[in-house]
Structure 1
Amino acid sequence: MPGVTVYDARPEELYKCESDTCQRIIKPTCNTTGDLCEYTYTYGYGGDDGRETTGNLAVQNFTFGDDSEDTAVKGVVTFGCSSSTEGDFGASGVLGLNKGNLSLVSQLNLGRFSYYFAPEVNTTDNNAADDFIVFGDDDGITVPGNSGGSRPRYTPFFTTGAVRSANLDLYFVELTGIRVGGKDLQLGGGGGGSAGGSLEAVLSTSVPVTYLEKNAYGLLKKELVSALGSNNTEDGSALGLDLCYRSQHMDRAKIPDIAFVFGGNAVMKLQQWNYLYQDEDTGLECLTIPPSPDDSDGLSLIGSMIQTGTYMIYDLHKSRLGFQTSDPPPSQSSDLPSNPTSSATAQPKPRGVAVAVVTMACFVWCLVVLNA
């Protein structure tokens, strides 16, 4: 990747194929004694749309944060020293934050971590928030845009369900409801649903869009079409999205608010940048919450766009997810700018279907879990 600083690992930092660590984590087939421990990992969707890295397993002392501060996190970390990458990672590397043995969370024995993905906005403000991640306690952290001082809402991690039981490394939550324009949709529960009609959802930052179990998606789409009009929909298949309108139509439409309700009545209010994407090439504005694929076993997925502008807290000690949302822009209207590059006002710009810099867990719809 152009512009990336290459780390030249010393021979003693590289695991041999026959080492206990390599055999336990990678389970390779060694042809010759002394061969290096090679790996290949795929992130995101996998296949033609995925991002793949190949290299050798290595070990090194890591320090996260300022080494002179008490808050610095240190540890001996087993990591992948990449020699080849395919696809656009959009970053110099990938952090694995799931619960697998090789993840950074497990290796550093973190009981808590949190992150914030800043929304892209059209603004001349040089103090606009940046993305950040915190390992450990977050005392003193100020959530960007949270002028009202609201406190985080918490929902328990979902610990039951057939899909979850087969994928213990991932983070699951219970999606109990969806509100559209203040109306609560009655979720029927699909193959991945739990008792009471709620949905089983996995958290991901490697997949931008959010997928809903098909029955729940049908309810959401029906409400949006009722509000936005059924005669003005456009074909968004070229973008991989289902419900689309012309941007000119959306400029005049009254777009309803959407909120997700998680277990424990934890309500996440969404901004338009969380669920709408404006494509300048086609002139379409689309809902970025499509239905789950047929082979998803009814599972829903909370992608990175939904999490944008929200401070996400993973409290592993108490087995719960917290989230704290930013205030909406003071001049936010019901529409998104038709030409995001032409305005200097602080209006939200659709984040677009792009990969978040920090990748939490490998997720593909066949649910092959890689301990990244």
Structure 2
Amino acid sequence: MGVAAMAASLLFLLLLPLAPALVSSTPYAMMAKEARPVIKQSAKAYMEQKVQVQQGIASRSGQQVATDSSGALVFDLSIGTSPQKLSVVMDITTELVWAQCDACSSCIRLTPPDTPTFLPNNSRSFAVVGCASQTCQRMIPGEHGCTHDDDPCGYPNDFDGWNTSGVLATDTFTFGTTPVPGVLFGCSGDIMVQDLAGASGVAGFSRGPLSLVSQLNISSFTYFIAPHGDAASKSFVSWTWGGAADHQFAAGQMRTGGRRSSTPLLAAKKNQLHPDLYYVNLTGLQVDGQLLTAIPPGFFDVRPTGSGGVFLSSTLPVTYLEEAAYNVLRPELVRRIQSQGVAPVTTGDDVNNLCFLTRDFSGAKIPGLALVFDGADATMELKVENFFFAVADGQLTCLTILPSIGGSILGSLLQAGRTMTYDIHGGQLTFQTAAAGAPSPGLWPMIMATLLVWVLCPENRL
């Protein structure tokens, strides 16, 4: 199976929130026959449990940054003295930086045997954080599993949402040519994440104290998720860090252009339940330039209880909108598309699946969709591929926006095709339509397919 076909089939799983009750008279429902139950999770559950993920990344070699139609960004980190190069997934909703560490006979590990592994014994600067240290007590309060002061400081598999456990350690990380000693990271032994394959771990970019953003004092970071099917665009990740003596790190090369807009990143204190996430103030939705007035002003605000609000994810492909807003948007899209004689098809018994036959959909004029944010002219105009995706071997095209309860999440497909810059110190999110430049010397072509699956079954939850 080719990369594009693999990515499409994987995303099809993401668009089936319920195990479909297959209807024998509906041939399109049969396309979902092998689909397992996925993504029956509300935004509230996501915010409470962060990420319930099984992630598969097709094997890759020599790349410093990669992405695919599902949108996960993968880049290389150099850890240790002498440096060991390991690829990690960039996750802006988690804080822990962790890597698969030296295999042990008692470890429970679902990753393939050939997943690159960090070897602590090969690093002269590796040090385990002890239970008696203030770092352990401060960073992992009450969850470190310590019995004696000289025990290693452990983190449990539900600590940061990636279903991995291990010990907290420090080592020298090298960014470009700049070594940074004493970076805290997780040395993971038990890894209950299936098929991490080409990636060896995760780089947390949230506002939490363990994240790279906090540890390096990153003032701003930028990423570009290459649009699906755009072979000319390459993904990249870059950031500025170090405070007064700023340093630059980049994987890939940016080429900017197009319309540039900014909206405030909500101050962490406004999100008392989730101060580590990147919230923005979404004020409304437009379809073909018309504001959907059935969504009242302030609908997407963070509520006094901490629920509601809108935050961004770099690992979740689909977008979740609060159910009441989704119930305004969906029929408006259906009405405008159906007026051209293109009717939705049934893919199962879940009314939230909105799919069309691709052969009919491709000939229709698809209404424009835009997100309106707080700020002067801060409107994000989306392309069709940002919110519709061809699945089931290309036979169906489905809406990649789903309903949620308790909050909204802007997924990576929605962000694809524009640079996303998070100015941490300035408190601004800037998005700009752009194309990534040709990869810098030493970068390899992008070859990756990603599966992000939220498991429905209670026994599989974190």
**Alpha-carbon distance change, 304 to 182 in structure 1, aligned in 2, over 3 angstroms:** same
Matched residues in 1 for 2:419 and 2:451: separation?
A: 19
Higher relative contact order (CA 8 A, sep 6+): 2
Q: Determine which of 97, 111, 131 is the counterpart of 2:219.
A: 111
1:34 aligns with 2:141: no
Alpha carbon RMSD of aligned pairs, Å? 3.4
Contact 2:283–2:300 at 8 Å: present in 1 too? no
Question: Counterpart of 2:23?
Answer: none
Matched residues in 2 for 1:214 and 1:253: separation?
A: 27
Question: Counterpart of 2:233?
Answer: 129
1:58 partner letter: A
How far off is 1:284 after superposition?
2.3
Q: Deviations over 1:293-312 (max 9, x none)?
A: x3x2xx11111111111111
Matched residues in 1 for 2:423 and 2:413: separation?
A: 21
Contact 1:188–1:216 at 8 Å: present in 2 too? no
Report SS of the residue matched to 2:366. Answer: coil
Q: Determine which of 268, 279, 291 is the counterpart of 2:391.
A: 279
1:171 aligns with 2:272: no
Aligned residues: 310
Q: Any unmatched runs of 5+ in structure 2?
A: 1-110, 241-246, 436-447, 454-461
Q: Deviations over 1:157-207 (max 9, x none)?
A: 123897x22211111001112121222212225775369xxx720111122
Question: Counterpart of 2:363?
Answer: 252
Matched residues in 2 for 1:241 and 1:7: separation?
A: 42
1:87 aligns with 2:193: yes
Q: Deviations over 1:18-47 (max 9, x none)?
A: 322112111224223422222135599x6x
Contact 2:140–2:155 at 8 Å: present in 1 too? yes
**Alpha-carbon distance change, 243 to 43 in structure 1, aligned in 2, over 3 angstroms:** farther
The aligned runs of 1:1-150 (5 Å cut-off) are: 1-2=111-112, 3-10=114-121, 13-27=127-141, 28-41=144-157, 51-65=162-176, 67=177, 72=178, 74-88=180-194, 89=196, 91-121=199-229, 123=231, 128-136=232-240, 143-144=254-255, 146=256, 149-150=257-258
Report SS of the residue matched to 1:21. Answer: helix
How far off is 1:217 after superposition?
1.0
1:133 partner letter: V
How far off is 1:213 after superposition?
1.3
Question: Counterpart of 1:339?
Answer: none
Matched residues in 2 for 1:74 and 1:239: separation?
A: 50
Contact 2:259–2:433 at 8 Å: present in 1 too? no
Contact 2:283–2:298 at 8 Å: present in 1 too? no
Report SS of the residue matched to 1:101. Answer: coil
Matched residues in 1 for 2:337 and 2:296: separation?
A: 24
Normalising by structure 1, we get a TM-score of 0.73
Contact 1:190–1:214 at 8 Å: present in 2 too? no
Q: Deviations over 1:243-275 (max 9, x none)?
A: 112222212322112111111031112122211
Question: Counterpart of 2:80?
Answer: none
**Alpha-carbon distance change, 81 to 353 in structure 1, aligned in 2, over 3 angstroms:** closer
Q: Any unmatched runs of 5+ in structure 1?
A: 328-350, 357-369
Q: Determine which of 270, 277, 290 is the counterpart of 1:183.
A: 290
Identity of aligned residues (%): 36
Report SS of the residue matched to 1:95. Answer: strand
Matched residues in 2 for 1:190 and 1:201: separation?
A: 12
Q: Which 4+ stretches in 1 moved above 6 angstroms?
A: 137-142
Matched residues in 2 for 1:240 and 1:83: separation?
A: 41
Question: Counterpart of 2:15?
Answer: none
Q: Which has the higher mean CA deviation after the structures are superposed, 275-284 or 310-319?
A: 275-284
1:135 partner letter: W
Contact 1:158–1:200 at 8 Å: present in 2 too? no
**Alpha-carbon distance change, 229 to 73 in structure 1, aligned in 2, over 3 angstroms:** farther
Question: Counterpart of 1:158?
Answer: 266
1:323 partner letter: F
Report SS of the residue matched to 1:111. Answer: strand
Report SS of the residue matched to 2:167. Answer: strand
Q: Determine which of 399, 410, 417 is the counterpart of 1:309.
A: 417
Report SS of the residue matched to 1:188. Answer: coil
Matched residues in 1 for 2:351 and 2:205: separation?
A: 27
Contact 1:172–1:200 at 8 Å: present in 2 too? yes
Matched residues in 2 for 1:179 and 1:43: separation?
A: 38
1:229 aligns with 2:331: no
